[in-house]
Structure 1
Amino acid sequence: MLGAGAGAGAGTPSADAEPAAAATSTGPPSSRPPNILVVYLDDLGYGDLSCYGSPMIQTPNLDRLARQGTRFTHGYAGHTVCTPSRAGLLTGRVPPRAGLPHVLFPEDTKGLSADERTIPEYLKQAGYTTTCIGKWHLGSQPEHNPTRHGFDHFFGALYSNDMRPFQLWRDEEMVEDPVDQSTLTRRYTEEAIAAIDRAGDDPFFIYLAETMPHLPLAVEPRFEGQSEAGEYGDVVESLDHYLGVLFEALSTRGLDGNTLVIVTSDNGPWYDGDSGPFRGRKIGTYEGGLRVPFIVRWPGVVPRREHDFPVTVIDLLPTLCSYAGVTPDPDVRLDGTNVRRVLEGRRSVPRTPIYYFDDNDGSLAAVRDGGWKLHVQRQDGTTRRLPELYDLERDPGESYNLASRHPDVVERLAGIIDEMEAELAPA
């Protein structure tokens, strides 16, 4: 069952309206691999865009992007918190398997291992220029720098904006301290446009990991007081504005037709923000912690539609490798699914389960397979009424525990959890 669609945000020019299109695809427009732009917003909730139902935040540029491509209603982050979510995206592996099950802090010496294979490392094999812009949060030691993990260029911060020291880096050199955070969204956009131009005739991969709307919030004066949703809304509307500038840069350079754009979030909302119709928020393993906006556009390839197939950022590595014509290392165990056929119009493909890990101890707290989701533990460690089984197709708010009615489903999903825990257990 497809989720209910939300109208475009107020203030969107009528000239931007898109005609209805069938959910079909004619395939890539050329044999050249596509440019790829992945935008990873920070702590943006499922309900924080007007195209996902926000009545108070207006996001006309992202609304237009959603009308031009596929708006997924079952999109998932890689984890419920920053570091492991990013590890899952870049490696295509669940965060504990990638060695980063918890949030990193400035004093930590741990980071992304040199043994992990990342999206940019694979794409460089196909001739891509690769750029990381914004929040890294996968380690601060020299060996953890993005330039040591497949990125040709890096401009951004090594940690979250509530951690100290909060500095800006260019490649492996610290270039700014202190940082005026109100300028970051604009400056990241400028860096992304420069990366597009720097690529020349080569295909590019840009990973734009925005600092906002993670707390503390900061916005340029021109956006202050703009949104009905307070300062948080001002920040989201600023992000929408500058992403519109970036999308326009693609268009004016004639690159829309061969650029795959993906916009999503690293987890659900923290203290501010809207998790939509879902229970829970960031850190928790109810749907509000992982269910996020997920918009994909590639004109002529990705159809204009709303789709309820479950997709996760952990799927990006095998999917993007498929588009680049690169085969992931067969000796590396991936947890994501190649969803290329779904992006191009297929109703569904067989997919791996979606796993929900507890940030406190790194344990596997829940699993989704098909429309069913099983919880075997809670964030606070209590066991009252566990296990909890929910039919996410009929009960997306996880309000009605059906475990006693479907013991066979509980047993099957518990077996999936046992298998994954056995795989992740230390040798």
Structure 2
Amino acid sequence: MDGSTRPNIVLIFMDDLGYGDLGCTGSPLISTPHIDRLAAEGLQMRQMYSTSPTCTPSRAGLLTGRYAQRVGLPRVIFPADPEGLCGWERTIAGVLSDVGYRCGIYGKWHLGARPEHNPLRHGFEEFYGLPYSNDMDPLNLYVNADRIEAAVDQSTLTRRYTDQAMDFISRHADEPFFVYLPHTMPHIPLHVEEDFRGTSRAGTYGDTVECLDHHVGRLVDHVEQLGLAERTLFLVTSDNGPWFEGRTGGLRGRKIDTYEGGIRMPFVARWTGTIQPGRVCDDVRSLLDVFPTLATLAGAQIPDDRPIDGVDMSGLLRGEELPPRPPLYFFSHWHLNAVRDGRWKVHVDRFPTNDLRELPQLFDVVADPEESYNLASLHPEVLDRMLGLVDAFGREIEAQREDAVARARS
């Protein structure tokens, strides 16, 4: 792809936003007109899956296009943990910066808190945000590698992240840019600007989401005012399902679960002039696919010296029909809990709980997205095939485990 057609990219990544928490995904209590506008002017994908039901592995999968188990980051990491994203891994920012993109991150990193894990070591030239989740201690705000604030006013973070992203875009409006905006909210503890308190019908959680939506609107308006709308791809999604509050849209399970409510994500894409407005897509896709898709759009090289689990879906953005995606595997830590292949999904574990009753479960998630009815006894041949996928991929990942752990701790 030549330089004149390569898009700028703005990737907005919410934290613990539920599948049903947006107006365009059916929320009856939360108003999100700005994200809804992006959906109306672009593409909404209704079967997009996170790479994990928890923070760190979800982000590892998104940024590398590889299952977090291959990266050695299968669980949430804490401030004192030695693990982090090692220098051998290639991120979206890394491959895009190789082909001239200016790359900035504004928000929550959560891929390691040590200096060697800093986003500046992974293709980003600017970092403004938190190194991990807002319920962890000590909570410090960083600019690049420097701590600038210890008593963080979390009610202002959404605005400040957006301000920094807008400034970066202004400074690089004449160059291709990648802005990664992984918001802190609506992860608990919830904090919201005073102007948004009480604006929704869904309590502080709803107020927080409406505040996020407002600042998405500010960012989109800024790009449009710079005359960059037709050159900029916006992506809006979430890392995993909602935790103690939030709406899954009727899907079973929540954050931490590998049932649909924990891993099926809202996903909106707008690229004016390229993505046909008002499209709704029911293809099964994964946030793993973002890495190879953005690399392809940018004309960057996808690493060929390691397994890349993501599949390029750039053609889908242009309205092309793509073949069905290969199976998707859902882990909790090192436990392979579930597999989605076509219309079928099998559950073989419920880690981190130890309740294994009624397993394995086989669901037709096209007919039964709520995963209410186990069809294992009616389709033994499908169950056998799905269990074969579980066994083969589980053995593949286990064979790589020792090396992956060593890299993450190096």
TM-score bucket (shorter structure): over 0.9
The match for 1:310 is 284
Matched, 1:400 2:373: yes
The match for 1:7 is none
> Following the alignment from structure 2 to structure 1, what is the Cα–Cα distance between the partners of residues 327 and 167?
38
The match for 2:230 is 257
The match for 1:134 is 107
What pairs with 1:94-173 in structure 2 (closer than 5 Å)? 94-173=67-146
> Following the alignment from structure 2 to structure 1, what is the Cα–Cα distance between the partners of residues 380 and 391?
16
Amino acid at match of 1:369: D
Give per-residue Cα distances to partners, 1:42-89, cap 9 Å, x unaligned: 000001011100000000001101000001111111210000000000
Moved over 3 A (4+): 28-32
The match for 1:216 is 189
> Following the alignment from structure 1 to structure 2, what is the Cα–Cα distance between the partners of residues 222 and 383?
47
The match for 1:378 is 350
> Following the alignment from structure 1 to structure 2, what is the Cα–Cα distance between the partners of residues 231 and 347?
41
The match for 1:345 is 319
- 1:97 partner SS: helix
Amino acid at match of 1:333: P
Q: Is the 8 A contact 1:92 1:315 kept in 2?
A: yes
What pairs with 1:230-269 in structure 2 (closer than 5 Å)? 230-269=203-242
The match for 1:176 is 149
Amino acid at match of 1:375: H
Q: Is the 8 A contact 2:173 2:226 kept in 1?
A: no
Amino acid at match of 1:262: L
The match for 1:85 is 58
Matched, 1:190 2:173: no
For residue 272 of structure 1, report the CA deviation from its aligned partner.
Answer: 0.6
The match for 1:15 is none
Question: Out of 246, 249, 253, which is 1:276 matched to?
Answer: 249
For residue 140 of structure 1, report the CA deviation from its aligned partner.
Answer: 0.6
Q: Is the 8 A contact 2:54 2:240 kept in 1?
A: yes
Identity of aligned residues (%): 51
Amino acid at match of 2:107: G
For residue 33 of structure 1, report the CA deviation from its aligned partner.
Answer: 1.1
Give per-residue Cα distances to partners, 1:113-168, cap 9 Å, x unaligned: 11111111100111000001100000011000000011011000001000011110
> Following the alignment from structure 1 to structure 2, what is the Cα–Cα distance between the partners of residues 185 and 176?
15
> Following the alignment from structure 1 to structure 2, what is the Cα–Cα distance between the partners of residues 350 and 370?
7
> Following the alignment from structure 1 to structure 2, what is the Cα–Cα distance between the partners of residues 204 and 252?
16
The match for 1:10 is none
Q: Which moved more, 1:42-51 or 1:349-358?
A: 349-358
Amino acid at match of 2:370: G
TM (norm. structure 1) is: 0.91
What pairs with 1:350-361 in structure 2 (closer than 5 Å)? 350-359=324-333
Amino acid at match of 2:339: V
User: Unaligned 5+ residue runs, structure 2?
Assistant: 401-410
Matched, 1:333 2:324: no
Question: Out of 331, 336, 348, which is 1:364 matched to?
Answer: 336
For residue 30 of structure 1, report the CA deviation from its aligned partner.
Answer: 7.2
For residue 98 of structure 1, report the CA deviation from its aligned partner.
Answer: 1.2
- 1:272 partner SS: coil
> Following the alignment from structure 2 to structure 1, what is the Cα–Cα distance between the partners of residues 9 and 323?
22
> Following the alignment from structure 1 to structure 2, what is the Cα–Cα distance between the partners of residues 211 and 77?
17
For residue 320 of structure 1, report the CA deviation from its aligned partner.
Answer: 0.6
For residue 414 of structure 1, report the CA deviation from its aligned partner.
Answer: 1.3
Q: Which moved more, 1:45-54 or 1:298-307?
A: 298-307
Question: Out of 26, 38, 54, which is 2:11 matched to?
Answer: 38
Q: Is the 8 A contact 1:79 1:267 kept in 2?
A: yes
> Following the alignment from structure 1 to structure 2, what is the Cα–Cα distance between the partners of residues 195 and 415?
48
Question: Out of 171, 174, 179, which is 1:201 matched to?
Answer: 174
For residue 371 of structure 1, report the CA deviation from its aligned partner.
Answer: 0.9
For residue 350 of structure 1, report the CA deviation from its aligned partner.
Answer: 3.4
User: Unaligned 5+ residue runs, structure 1?
Assistant: 1-27
- 2:107 partner SS: strand
- 2:399 partner SS: coil
Q: Is the 8 A contact 1:154 1:169 kept in 2?
A: yes
Q: Is the 8 A contact 2:2 2:299 kept in 1?
A: no
> Following the alignment from structure 1 to structure 2, what is the Cα–Cα distance between the partners of residues 157 and 352?
35
> Following the alignment from structure 1 to structure 2, what is the Cα–Cα distance between the partners of residues 44 and 187?
19
Give per-residue Cα distances to partners, 1:79-118, cap 9 Å, x unaligned: 1000000000000001101110000011101100111111
Q: Is the 8 A contact 2:258 2:338 kept in 1?
A: yes
For residue 368 of structure 1, report the CA deviation from its aligned partner.
Answer: 0.2
**Paired positions, count:** 398
Give per-residue Cα distances to partners, 1:303-323, cap 9 Å, x unaligned: 221111122211011111110
Q: What's the Cα RMSD here?
A: 1.3
For residue 205 of structure 1, report the CA deviation from its aligned partner.
Answer: 0.4
Q: Is the 8 A contact 1:34 1:324 kept in 2?
A: yes
Q: Is the 8 A contact 2:255 2:262 kept in 1?
A: yes
> Following the alignment from structure 1 to structure 2, what is the Cα–Cα distance between the partners of residues 395 and 418?
25
> Following the alignment from structure 2 to structure 1, what is the Cα–Cα distance between the partners of residues 164 and 284?
32
